[in-house]
Amino acid sequence: MADMFPLYRGDQVRAMDRRAIEQWGIPAYELMTRAGTAAWALLRAQWPQVRRIGVACGPGNNGGDGYVLARLAREAGCTVHVVCAPGGHPRRDPAREALAAWRGAGGRVESFDGMLPDVDVWVDAIYGIGLSRPPSDAVRSLIERINASRRPVLALDVPSGVDADRGRVPGVVVQSRVTLSFIAAKQGLYTGQARDACGEVRVDRLGLPAIDTGQDPPSAWLVRDTDLSAWLAPRHANAHKGEHGHVLCIGGEVGMGGAVRLCAEAALRTGVGLASVATRREGVAALVAARPEAMTHAVEDATALAPLLERASVVAVGPGLGQGDWGRSLLDASLGAGKSLVLDADALNLLAVRPVPVPGAVLTPPPGEAARLLACDTAQVQADRFGAAHRLAQRYQAVVVLKGAGTVVAAPGRDPVVVGAGNPGMATGGMGDVLSGVIASLLAQGLPAFEASVAGALLHATAGDAAARVDGERGLLPSDLFPHLRRLANPA
Ligand SMILES: NC(=O)C1=CN([C@@H]2O[C@H](COP(=O)(O)OP(=O)(O)OC[C@H]3O[C@@H](n4cnc5c(N)ncnc54)[C@H](O)[C@@H]3O)[C@@H](O)[C@H]2O)[C@@H](O)CC1
Ligand SMILES: [K+]
């Protein structure tokens, strides 16, 4: 397994914070001072030219971190405007101590009256992991003003307004350029709506010893492009195609033949030994002409599918399958074949109509299909992507790859993994067909289902990022990923 990055919920980080205070005797105000100091150092490194700094402070310890930063910035000769969020005067230590120190150093606190001072950069210290409800109208107005200023924002710990456990934004959120998270990385910052609000996420341990994941088991893990090589070992010299598996891609109802081709080509470009396609008769000639390496068969019913299922080591079913009788019969035959399965697209829509556990299979739903599989609405899935992926994995006894910004991979008995790659250019029809082909390919090459899903989702997202770097996100096509998939599937 790769050297993944540990993620935590807010309550777990609070426990680390308490341990630092109670067991190691580090006073709370000392930790707060370290947080403000780390943030000030990052601000200086990030924007060395700035002289006018705005700090928006809330009522809790996140605000306290902001008062510390404000004092340090003032001592360094900057003009600092501290704006107190409506209802945001700290009432408890150590934030009260930080406010007193700011005042003691000659600093003033401005109340927010609807206008903001003109500054070069904003520091968001309104709410951290203590956000308990959507911001009030008055705080909403402050956040909207900060966003409208178009100045870069450094968010302390989390962008204010983000639910740091779930990645949702229950109201309005500060749009940050950089987020400096304290003590440990919060899982919610890496998926869902939060991804947009955080900008670049950094983590500072505040001088505490390196995380021991045995003592502090993470709630989730993050994988990044640098982890890819852990799953993609070089091939040995006398390899033959039989060792690299045989993927059968099933789908391509009339009018949707391209989907199954994308799936098969993705499997081939990421190293599967053999790829077959079972599709409608109408699609065969075009597919053979476009991708002669895929062995393409006209399959009109489950009987014709049986010998193909027999020969395959992995079956990817769903791309362009449709939800009619043809698709249903091929899906049912696949479910009964006893092969490793990747279920995507219409296979998931059909499964949602007649839900049954599919032990060990890989399901690759985007939020809409996930909602159908859970019989809830898409907003509920997006409000808690970790929870939704977990519920899907339990209900279907499967590995679940919940797609979308910050893809979450979950399986019964496994910690969830978030994919720290991908971009909005990948929100295009056909991108999912490529992903199911990549995962099927890695399964066929011998990775277990969970590892194939994590590595496949990461490989796919990283290829999407590489393709977007060439000509931008808008207009990115699934087939643009192929050369990058091939290159990335062969790490140096
Ligand atoms: N030992 C320490 O003092 C440390 C504190 N840290 C900071 O402390 C933060 C957590 O501090 P807190 O627990 O005080 O939480 P926050 O500072 O996030 O805010 C909690 C306060 O905001 C109020 N609040 C929450 N949502 C609200 C809403 N929508 N409208 C109005 N009021 C709302 C709560 O009632 C509470 O008074 C972390 O995010 C981090 O920034 C870290 O720097 C680590 C060290
Ligand atoms: K904040």
User: pLDDT of 391-449, one tens digit each?
Assistant: 999 999 999 999 999 999 999 999 999 999 999 999 999 999 999 999 999 999 999 99
> Mean pLDDT across the chain, nearest whole number?
96
Give the CATH architecture of domain 227-488.
Answer: 3-Layer(aba) Sandwich (3.40)
Q: Is the pLDDT reported for residue 352 higher than 90?
A: yes
Q: Which two tokens stand for residue 69?
A: 């930063």
Whether ligand 1 lies within 6 angstroms of the CB of 17 is answered as: yes
User: pLDDT of 92-148, one tens digit each?
Assistant: 999 999 999 999 999 999 999 999 999 999 999 999 999 989 999 999 999 999 999
Q: Which two tokens stand for residue 441?
A: 């390919």
- Report yes or no: 417 and 220 within 8 Å, Cβ to Cβ: yes
CA of 110 to the centre of ligand 2 (A): 18
Distance, CA of 322 to CA of 441 (rounded, Å): 23
- CB-side neighbour CA atoms (13 Å) of 276: 18
Distance, CA of 100 to CA of 146 (rounded, Å): 25
Helix residue ranges per DSSP H, 276-430: 281-290, 302-311, 325-335, 345-353, 367-374, 378-383, 385-396
Q: Is the pLDDT reported for residue 301 higher than 80?
A: yes
Distance, CA of 65 to CA of 126 (rounded, Å): 10
90 preceded by a cis bond (ω within 30 of 0): no
Whether ligand 1 lies within 6 angstroms of the CB of 344 is answered as: no
pLDDT of residue 243: 82
CA of 130 to the centre of ligand 1 (A): 4
User: pLDDT of 28-53, one tens digit each?
Assistant: 999 999 999 999 999 999 999 999 99
What is the DSSP secondary structure assignment for residue 421, as one 8-state letter? -
Q: Is the pLDDT reported for residue 1 higher than 70?
A: no
Q: Which CATH number fits domain 5-221: 3.90.230.10, 3.40.50.920, 3.40.50.10260, 3.90.25.10?
A: 3.40.50.10260
Helices (H) and strands (E) in the chain, counts: 17, 18
User: pLDDT of 230-242, one tens digit each?
Assistant: 999 888 778 777 7
* Partners of residue 340 on adjacent β-strands: 314
Distance, CA of 349 to CA of 324 (rounded, Å): 11
At a CB cut-off of 8 Å and minimum separation 6, what does 413 contact? none
pLDDT of residue 238: 80
CA of 159 to the centre of ligand 2 (A): 5
At a CB cut-off of 8 Å and minimum separation 6, what does 290 contact? 261
Average pLDDT rounded to a whole number, residues 340-359: 98
Q: Is the pLDDT reported for residue 346 higher than 90?
A: yes
pLDDT of residue 237: 79
Whether ligand 1 lies within 6 angstroms of the CB of 124 is answered as: no
What is the DSSP secondary structure assignment for residue 8, as one 8-state letter? B
Question: Ligand 1, from 12, 26, 61: best to mutate by most atoms within 8 Å of Cβ?
Answer: 61
* Partners of residue 341 on adjacent β-strands: 315
Task: Report domain extents, the chain.
Answer: 5-221, 227-488
Percentage of the chain exceeding pLDDT 90: 95
Please check if 405 is assigned to a binding site.
yes
User: pLDDT of 447-459, one tens digit each?
Assistant: 999 999 999 999 9
- The one-letter amino acid at 140: R
* Partners of residue 154 on adjacent β-strands: 123, 178
Smallest CA-to-CA distance from 344 within 368, 326, 325, 377 is with 368
Q: Which two tokens stand for residue 164?
A: 């740091």
Q: What are phi and psi of 315, to 5 degrees?
A: -120, 125
- CB-side neighbour CA atoms (13 Å) of 315: 29
Q: How many CB atoms lie within 10 A of CB 130?
A: 16
* Partners of residue 179 on adjacent β-strands: 155, 201
For the ranges 22-26, 264-268, 345-349, the lowest mean pLDDT is seen at 22-26
pLDDT of residue 492: 79
Distance, CA of 294 to CA of 248 (rounded, Å): 9
Instruction: Indicate the pTM of the whole model.
Output: 0.96
User: pLDDT of 204-222, one tens digit each?
Assistant: 999 999 999 999 999 999 9
Whether ligand 1 lies within 6 angstroms of the CB of 62 is answered as: yes
pLDDT of residue 396: 98
Q: How far is CA 94 from CA 28, 75, 80, 128, 180, in A?
A: 6, 20, 21, 15, 20
CA of 72 to the centre of ligand 2 (A): 18
3-class SS of residue 389: helix
Q: What are phi and psi of 270, to 5 degrees?
A: -110, 15
